[in-house]
Amino acid sequence: MFEMLDDCLTDCRNRLIRAPRDRKSPMHTPVIVTGDVDARVMVLRAFDSQGWTLRLHTDARSPKAQVIAADPRAAVLFYDKGAKIQIRARGTGAVLRDGAEVDAAWAAGTNFARRCYLGEGPGAGTDAPTSGLPPEFEGVEPDDAQLIPARENFALLKITLTALDWLYLAHTGHVRAQFTRTEGAAEWAGRWVSP
């Protein structure tokens, strides 16, 4: 099934192409790890298969935004239990708050989703369980005018991948391949490794 390094790299690419488009894809919600060794599950919103760049949405006030600004190293873990495929990836993260791509991502969101950026910033202390939303937006979809202050809190997390570790778990014997590239380079260098 996976006898050539190119087959493994193509599998990585195809799974990442599908992941943001298909909410049922097991790789739609990868684990993102920042330089402070903090991990969280995030929704993969887009994958650029030419530049090998992941796009996720985040709050510009979140602790991870400050961590990435100071240390752009990022790791990503994808796992498809049914296919028995794990992809571990590493790369460089950047938090973008402005520009055409950020504006387009903001515009593509629903008002119900964009309301998340109206409340207190992620990690803000509270005396009781809370969604962090202002009370008037609990379970309510705001209109465009009410969302104007939320836009300044919206940002994209872009991760440019520079290393892939692909693992196929099989009862007949696991298979593992690794790939690296210099950021900006089109070609990946691959090698087989023992699982």
Alpha helices in the chain (DSSP H): 5-21, 63-70, 100-108, 111-114
Mean predicted lDDT score pLDDT of the chain? 95
Whether 84 is in a domain gets the answer: yes
Q: Quote the CA–CA distance of 43 and 29 in Å, as a whole number.
A: 5
**pLDDT at site 185:** 78
Whether 143 is in a domain gets the answer: no
Whether 72 is in a domain gets the answer: yes
Calculate mean pLDDT across residues 3-24: 97
Give the predicted TM-score (pTM) of the model: 0.94
Q: Does pLDDT of 11 surpass 80?
A: yes
Question: Are 178 and 167 contacting, i.e. CB atoms less than 8 angstroms apart?
Answer: no
Residue with tokens 């460089």: 92
User: Confidence class of residue 186 from pLDDT cuts 50, 70 and 90?
Assistant: confident
User: Confidence class of residue 183 from pLDDT cuts 50, 70 and 90?
Assistant: confident
Amino acid residing at 169: L
Calculate mean pLDDT across residues 162-180: 96
Whether 123 is in a domain gets the answer: no
Instruction: List the CATH number of the domain containing 35.
Output: 2.30.110.10
Q: Quote the CA–CA distance of 89 and 180 in Å, as a whole number.
A: 10
Domain of residue 72 covers 5-105+154-193
Whether 110 is in a domain gets the answer: no
Q: Does pLDDT of 1 surpass 80?
A: no
| Beta strand residue intervals within the chain, DSSP E | 31-34, 39-41, 44-48, 53-59, 73-80, 85-96, 154-168, 175-180, 189-193
**Tokens of residue 146, six digits:** 């009410």
Residue with tokens 């969280």: 40
User: Confidence class of residue 2 from pLDDT cuts 50, 70 and 90?
Assistant: confident
Q: How many domains would you assign to the chain?
A: 1
78-102 pLDDT, tens digit each? 999 999 999 999 999 999 999 999 9
110-143 pLDDT, tens digit each? 999 999 999 888 988 989 998 889 989 988 999 9
Residue with tokens 């790939």: 179
Whether 124 is in a domain gets the answer: no
Whether 136 is in a domain gets the answer: no
**pLDDT at site 120:** 87
Minimum mean pLDDT range among 6-10, 168-172, 176-180: 168-172
135-164 pLDDT, tens digit each? 899 889 999 999 999 999 999 999 999 999
Whether 94 is in a domain gets the answer: yes
Q: What is residue 22's DSSP assignment?
A: -
